[in-house]
Every structure is written in C-alpha cells, then in structure tokens.
Structure 1
Amino acid sequence: MVGALRGGSGAVLTAAAVAAGLLGAPAPARAAMPVFDKLVAYVRDGDVWVSRGPTERRVTTGGGHRRPRWSPDHTRLVVLRGDQVYVMKADGTARTRVTARPVGGAAWAPDGRSLALVSAACLGGPGVYRAPATGGALTALFPAACRDREIPPAPAPEAAGGSLTARLRHDDGVAWSPDGARIAFRGGDCEAVLDDCLTLGNVATGGERLVAGYGGGGSALTGFAVVPSFRPDGAALTYSAYAEGPTAAQDQPLHVEEQDLATGATRTRGEPLDRESTYVDGTRLLATTQYRSSSWIVLLAPAGRTLVRKGSQPAY
C-alpha cells in the first residue's frame, strides 16, 4: 500500500492536504446523464431510489435505509433499515423481513436463494451467516469455529456517528463472489493480531485469507478496509480504504482500492474521498464521492469520471 495518493492531475494528495482543502479531487465532469443497461439503486435522505438514466423513482419511504443490493436476476433488492434486513421487489413492494436478528450487512448468493448476513458471532466479533432470502433459520459460516456452536444472542448494533471515516470504520458491508465460492467481509480470524482487517472466506472449507490489515501484527499503518465488491469475473475486489501512518506523509485519505485476487496487487481507483464502490462491468465502477459538500454518485471509467446524481451507496 502506498503512503499517499495521486490525483488525476498527478499531484500528491495527502490526508492532511485534503482535509485542509489545499488540494482535492478535480470536479467530475457534468456530462450528459449516463444511461445504464440495468437499474442503479442508491440512497438519498435515508430512502432507496432506483434509476437507469435521467428519470428516477423512490422505492422506500420513512428514512433509515442503507446498503441496497440487487439480486442476481435484478428483480429484488435486499436493504437494511436500522438493524433489520428486508427483501423487496425492485419497485419496493412485497417487502419481507428476513430475520428479527440485528444485522449489519447483507449480500446475495449468486443463485438468488440465499443471503449472507453479518451479525455478532460466537467469538464476540462480527460473523457471517447464511439465511434463506425468503426468511428462515440462520447458519453460521464465518468464523469457521462458530459453525458447530450455538448462535449467540446479538446485541443491537451501536449507531455510527462522527466523521465520515468514523462512520465507515465499522461498516459491515459484505460481498459474495460471482462463483459462490467466497465471501468478503470485515473482521475474521485476522482480528487476533490486527486491529482492523478485511477477509476473504472460503464458503466450503471455512478457510480465511487476509485481504487488507491495519494496526498490530507489525503493521505500520492504522486504518480500515470496508464495503467490498467483486468484479463480475470474480478476479478482483474493490473496497473503501483509509490509513494513517507514523508520519503524515504515509497517511492515505479515504479512497477506493482495487485488489487483484490472484496476485494481491492493489491500485487506487478514482480520487480521494471516493468510496462505496460497485462494478458496472470489468472496467467501470460506480462510487460515492464528495461534491459541493454533498454525497454524489460518480461513474469511474477509463476515460474519466462523470457525476451521475446526488446520493450514496450505489448498487448495480
């Protein structure tokens, strides 16, 4: 991992410079509204909206919604409201609560029949469970040591507050690989030696592999990696990352990082303060960015970046 990020102009952008407003990401292009092949889901003012282009539709009301995720056939959404998880049709109807257990993150299995849910595990940290998308009993997946133990009661998650980085640090966004073999999630066995970490777990064996780690275990950086998303071919993973080093020159402002899962090589996608990314295809990403003191959806493409609309937490 690098000590500082480079913006599109080539200038080195440190966390201190971004925070001071001395340097920052160039304003995204205000080009014609992109038109997507499928609906994009996103959050604005606590409700979920969907859009393919210039028009949009709100599909929830009442606020408190977050982290929408599309089913593989793109006909249903799983969404969190508070600490509860619901499945609904793309238009917001037929809303069903999956479980009464407090949940911090949710993702679809590739077959569309199951969900990966993040909740308190038997070892005390966050764990990953499988649940039928129609509702039903939970099965522990990670940590593997919890697979043959009774599922513990789950305390209600504490409300996140404070700065943007403070709110994201403990985000339990989770991702299931397109082939169904792996799940990416925050925490795992790596927490025995690290303060914060992102893990890739093997669904069949329960084995875990470290994707990114911070603090403890000889790491010079403190920080976090959260909200993972698999590339459609399953060969790469993006996540929102942040790091602080022993010196200011090693600080890394919040950004989108992409890791090649075969080689472990990483690179930065987009600009500082981009976050919460999701793949559109093999080369393009949708992410949340900061623009004019608000959260906006931005399209990150090889040709540049384009503002899509006001909102956050895109799902494609």
Structure 2
Amino acid sequence: MYPQLARLAAIALTVLAAVAGPASGAGAGRAGASGPGSEPVEAGPPRPFVFVQGGDVFLTDRTGTFRITTSGGASWPRISPDRTRIAYAQAGDVWVADVSDSGGHIAFTRISHDGRAGGPSWSPRGDRLAYRSGTAHHGTTVLAKAPPPGGGTPAAGASTPGTDPTDRAAPGTGQAAPGAGRSAPGTGLAWPGPGQAGESGGTAAADATGWSVLREANTVAWSPDGRSLAYPGGSCSATYDDCLTVLDLGTGAESTVAGFDSRRPGFATTPSWSADSRRLYVTRQVGATPGPVTATAYDLAGRGTWQVGADGDSTPVPVGNGRFLVTARTAAGDTVTYLPGDGSRQALSPGAQPDWNPGRPG
C-alpha cells in the first residue's frame, strides 16, 4: 500500500515542518487507495492504521510502523477516507499531515487556531473535517475545509507550521525515526511501564474519584452516510451531567443517545460509527462507584447496548465483520489491540487511540 515507506525504512527519517507546501523531510507516503468492492475484507489486523504513542502519531502499513510527528502532544489521529492524510489534535488545534507524496515527504497544515479544538473526524468524501471547539461537555461544532491530498493549497483560515509566530512546537520538527528505549519486537516503539497510561488518553489513567481521563475526551465522529455527527456533550448537557449526542447535519437537530446524571453516573465518549451508520461504538464507564472502562455498542434504532471486548478496553473502532481495534489496558501499558471477533485478542503495538478507514474514495 505504501511502497515508498519500505524504501525509507532502512534510513533515518527526518521530517521538517512544511512552509507553503510539502515538507522537506522524509516520512510516510502512499501509492494509491482502493474503495469498497475493489479489495476483499482483510484477514487479520487491518492495514494501514494510525495511533499515538508517547504523544506522537504513528502509521502502520504492510511494510512497517512509521512515526509521523515528533514534537509530542499529539492525540486522536484520524486517517482520511483515501488514506492520503492524517488529521489529529495537538496543543488544542487540529492539524493535517499529508502522507501522499511518492517521494516520502510529509506536509503539515494547521486547520484551527483557537487552542480549544478536540479530536477531528473526516467527512466521508474526505473534503471536510469536523471537530468540537471547547470541552467534552460544552463546545461548538466546527466544519472546516480540509486541504486536498498532494500538498495542495491549505484550507481557508489554515496555515502551515512556522508561518504563525504563535505556533507552539510545530509538528514534524526533529528526528522521525522511532524513539530509543525498550522496544516492542518489530516496531521500535517503547512500551510504557506497568500501570502507566503512556498517552494523554490512556485507559489506565484515572482521576482521584476513579473516573477515567477519557471522560474528558473531546472527539467527534462523522457518520459514513454523511448525515450525522456524534460527540459527547451538546444541548443535552443542560439536562445531564454527561451525555452523548447525534447531530443531524441536514436539520441541525440534536438527539440524545445516552444521558448520565447523579442517579445514573457515567459517561460515553470517543464515538465511532458502524459502516451502515446504524450503530455507535464508544468508551463508557458507569456506576456510583465507577466500574471498569468498557468499549460499548449502541444500536441507534433499538437503543440496545452491548459490550465489545473485555473490561478495560476503550476507544473501539470497527474494522468490519465484527472485528475491532481497541486500546487495551495491559501489564505493559496501553496497547493497540486487534479483536478478530472470535474471542481472541492480538496485541499490535504499544500505544492508544487507534483509527482505521476502509478506504472509501474521495
């Protein structure tokens, strides 16, 4: 899928921030994309997928695992439908890393500038991004034009790192080779120590009351049919302490999927959609005394719910045929884990917040 990455794997990768165009460093790239029906459903873990580890974005394809950002502080990476770009949040702003260049260059474009943006989501066509500016409880939904693949003109209102004197640690600066330290076999990634979260959105981290830090995860999900956005908070925050909302983009109407209050404490965050846009998969925790974090499915037609994976799994991403990528809590720390749907589990890499896209055309 990414042949130039195989060529780059044998050399040290240096990624420099882009200034008015593709970056001058080397990084991940791509040779093409395929849409539904053009390739069979993969057996085994899907490729490519993205995730965070140590505050940086990584991409894993069929040839290996590659660091996309190097300055830390990144979270919630989301790969575009055509698999040429990766949107993510860093220091309260949304960025896009373009990995489409056949020569291995990465271009970075800054999408937001208010320092309050949460995790982004791609439209099904890959031409827009959605995110919430604010918190997981109160915020404003923003739809922004996405930069096209190939290092084209940045979206209106966006800038490239280095062009704004207020930029904070622009992504892509420094060395892009995998970090040093004790590494997982075949990945070059460092495993956090036992009981450590390893990420800002790690499942092992909890506040003093026992609630997971994922209670504050401010992410959105754009439905595959293009009609809806799902996110925590919304107008239901006036009624509930925590809630999960679906916004109808055609009418502007919000509907409450789940609500939590003092009688039924809990939260549901980090939504992702099923391919038919009929189910939401979320990170959930409930109980007067907080129970375990779980990956939970919501059937939007019947409002039925069920657990995906084991206690401690979070940030579920469906990858077809009843299979999922999740962040699992293990003795080694947060681990990107594949659930093939038969009750077994496969640890893929140290890290958290995985994302995959079936490769729908733009």
- TM-score between the two structures when normalised by the length of structure 1: 0.75
Asked if the contact 2:77–2:119 (Cα under 8 Å) also holds between the matched residues in 1, the reply is no
Greater per-residue strand proportion: 1
Note closer, same or farther for the CA distance 1:256–1:299 as it changes in structure 2 (3 Å cut). Answer: same
Letter aligned with residue 242 of structure 2: D
Higher relative CO (CA 8 A, sep ≥ 6), structure 1 or 2? 2
The corresponding residue for 2:345 is 305
Q: Name the CA distance, whole Å, in 2 between partners of 1:314 and 1:45.
A: 13
Structural RMSD (CA) = 2.3
The Cα of 1:233 is off from its aligned counterpart by 1.8
Number of equivalent positions: 254
Letter aligned with residue 338 of structure 2: L
Q: Name the CA distance, whole Å, in 2 between partners of 1:66 and 1:101.
A: 17
The Cα of 1:83 is off from its aligned counterpart by 0.5
Q: Name the CA distance, whole Å, in 1 between partners of 2:62 and 2:291.
A: 33
Within the alignment, does 1:61 sit opposite 2:70 as a pair? yes
The corresponding residue for 1:194 is 240
The corresponding residue for 2:270 is 227
Q: Name the CA distance, whole Å, in 2 between partners of 1:236 and 1:294.
A: 29
Asked if the contact 2:93–2:113 (Cα under 8 Å) also holds between the matched residues in 1, the reply is yes
Asked if the contact 1:242–1:253 (Cα under 8 Å) also holds between the matched residues in 2, the reply is yes
Q: Name the CA distance, whole Å, in 1 between partners of 2:308 and 2:125.
A: 29
The corresponding residue for 2:53 is 44
Q: Name the CA distance, whole Å, in 1 between partners of 2:254 and 2:240.
A: 14
Q: Name the CA distance, whole Å, in 2 between partners of 1:240 and 1:127.
A: 21
Within the alignment, does 1:111 sit opposite 2:125 as a pair? yes
The Cα of 1:52 is off from its aligned counterpart by 2.9
The Cα of 1:92 is off from its aligned counterpart by 7.2
The Cα of 1:127 is off from its aligned counterpart by 2.1
Asked if the contact 2:111–2:157 (Cα under 8 Å) also holds between the matched residues in 1, the reply is no
Q: Name the CA distance, whole Å, in 2 between partners of 1:284 and 1:54.
A: 22
Q: Name the CA distance, whole Å, in 2 between partners of 1:54 and 1:221.
A: 46
Asked if the contact 2:75–2:119 (Cα under 8 Å) also holds between the matched residues in 1, the reply is no
Q: Name the CA distance, whole Å, in 2 between partners of 1:35 and 1:72.
A: 20
Asked if the contact 2:131–2:219 (Cα under 8 Å) also holds between the matched residues in 1, the reply is no
The Cα of 1:38 is off from its aligned counterpart by 2.8
Asked if the contact 1:284–1:300 (Cα under 8 Å) also holds between the matched residues in 2, the reply is yes
Note closer, same or farther for the CA distance 1:263–1:137 as it changes in structure 2 (3 Å cut). Answer: farther
Instruction: For residues 146-200 of structure 1, give each alpha carbon's deviation from its aligned partner in whole angstroms, at most 9, with x where no partner exists.
Output: xxxxxxxxxxxxx999626442111111100001100001111111110000101
The corresponding residue for 2:287 is 244
Which structure 1 residue ranges, 4+ long, deviate > 4 Å from structure 2?
Answer: 34-37, 159-162
Instruction: For residues 245-293 of structure 1, give each alpha carbon's deviation from its aligned partner in whole angstroms, at most 9, with x where no partner exists.
Output: 3xx5xx5310000011211111000111100111111411100011114
Q: Name the CA distance, whole Å, in 1 between partners of 2:248 and 2:222.
A: 10
Percent identity of equivalent pairs: 31
The corresponding residue for 2:163 is none
